[in-house]
Structure 1
Amino acid sequence: MAKATKEVDIERLIAQEASDFIKELEVERVLKSFKLNPYDILDLGINATENEIKKQYRKKSLLIHPDKFKHPRGIEAFDQLKKAEAMLGDKDKRDEVDAVMRHARVQVLKPLFPPGTNTSEVPDDDPRLTALDPPLDMQVKKKAREVFVEEELLKRRAQKIAYANEGAEAAKKEAEINQRKRKQEDEATWESRRDERVSTWREFAGTSSSSAAAPKKTKKKKLNVLG
């Protein structure tokens, strides 16, 4: 009986270690996935349905949830998983991601078909695609990565330009405010010295009046006496 219990404990321990190993691999997979591609993070194809996305997210989140599995970067991986599911759950954002993925697929297939071929209508199970090496899915993901990076760089440049314009506008407004402030200070200083200016003017005016009222001294002419 004791031997049987010991064997059960060993099997349970092995199963736990195997489970932890799988969880660790999943955390590392999520962390290594391309952060701008939610399909890559969730390990899904572009044709995944809304229900499949939800099921996959639930499966992955239960596997690596920080409360269920302790990992130094478990919270980071779980956050990436949540963001990916939220992005694909938002119709507008998913449309943007899908547009990039479709564009990447067209770019991969373009050299494989004659000019004028509508490659968007070529199914994935076409013999010319199933024989590709590396596989089509891998090539599309790689090309999509390039497109995502290019678009992200364009967005960042646009943001920098916007921030620069905002900074220039803010500097202009600050200069205008400082100019108004200086004008107000000058007006206040002018007003505060009004009494001083009035007093000075009165003194000047009084001095001028005194000078005007005083009789002018006439120089006496020297008379020549004839002898």
Structure 2
Amino acid sequence: MASSSNLDSLLSKSANDLAKEQEVQRVMKAFKLNPYDILDLPAFATEAEVKKQYRKKSLLIHPDKFKHENGLEAFDFLKKAEAQLSDSSKRTEIDAIMTHCRTAVLKSVLGSGYSTNIADTDPRITSLRPPLDAQIRAKAKEVFVEDELAKRRKSKLAFANEGAEKAKAEAEVAARKRKIEEQAKWEERRDERISSWRDFSSKKAKKSKKNLHVLG
């Protein structure tokens, strides 16, 4: 009996470790720009469903309970996804994209039969292959990537403009500095210029006086 009990315990532990291993791999392969993908939830899941799923997944692969080379990173992805869907402003942005994708998918598969009032329980929806949620996720992946690229282009442009403004400001500072240095050098040579002018004037006066004697 003891041997059988140990075997059952070993098999249970192995199955549990396998489930944890598979969950870490699933998170690492999930589309990182879509928190629904990371948490393995359908689009528009409720706040309660998000928290329940996060708790379930995070407990399964928590770094303190399961050691894996990607465990900590996978856990952080789960935590970030839950935080995004728990933030009302970010959730609004994400769900706006998902709504747009749902509309696009339904219009493409139903054509003229599409209606804004169609429910997910409609037979035309439940019979879709691939399932509606899978098609929405696929479409959302395209939109999220386009949105991310647009953000990066905007950020790059802003950085370039910031760099140009910084270079302009630095050039203006350098120009003012050169002007101040030139003015300082001009002032430093003031006595030298005055002395040179006096010498020149004195020599000119002597020469003029000498010429007058010659003429006389």
Q: TM-score range by the shorter chain?
A: over 0.9
Q: CA deviation at 1:75?
A: 1.2
**What residue in structure 2 maps to residue 174 of structure 1?**
170
**What residue in structure 2 maps to residue 134 of structure 1?**
130
TM-score by length of 2: 0.94
2:75 pairs with one of 61, 75, 78: 78
Q: What SS does the aligned partner of 2:43 have?
A: coil
Equivalent positions of 1:99-114 (< 5 A) are: 99-114=96-111
TM-score by length of 1: 0.89
Counterpart CA distance in 1 for 2:178 and 2:149 is 43
**What residue in structure 2 maps to residue 223 of structure 1?**
none
> For the pair shown, which has the larger CA radius of gyration, 1 or 2?
1
What residue ranges of structure 2 are gaps of 5+ in the alignment? none
Deviations 1:177-222 (A, max 9, x none): 1111111111111111112111111111211222233343148xxx
**Would the aligned equivalents of 2:120 and 2:126 in 1 still touch at CA under 8 Å?**
yes
Structure with the higher helix share, 1 or 2: 2
Q: 1:116 to 1:175 in 2, by over 3 A?
A: farther
Q: 1:19 to 1:31 in 2, by over 3 A?
A: same
Q: 1:116 to 1:164 in 2, by over 3 A?
A: farther
Counterpart CA distance in 2 for 1:133 and 1:71 is 35
Counterpart CA distance in 2 for 1:117 and 1:110 is 6
**What residue in structure 2 maps to residue 209 of structure 1?**
205
Q: What SS does the aligned partner of 1:216 have?
A: helix
Q: CA deviation at 1:10?
A: 2.2
Equivalent positions of 1:19-34 (< 5 A) are: 19-34=16-31
Q: Does 1:58 align with 2:52?
A: no
- Aligned residue pairs total 215
Tell which has more relative contact order, 1 or 2 (C-alpha 8 A, sep 6+).
Answer: 2
Q: CA deviation at 1:171?
A: 1.2
Q: What SS does the aligned partner of 2:213 have?
A: coil
Q: CA deviation at 1:114?
A: 4.8
**What residue in structure 2 maps to residue 125 of structure 1?**
121
Equivalent positions of 1:162-201 (< 5 A) are: 162-201=158-197
**What residue in structure 2 maps to residue 225 of structure 1?**
none
Percent identical pairs in the alignment equals 56
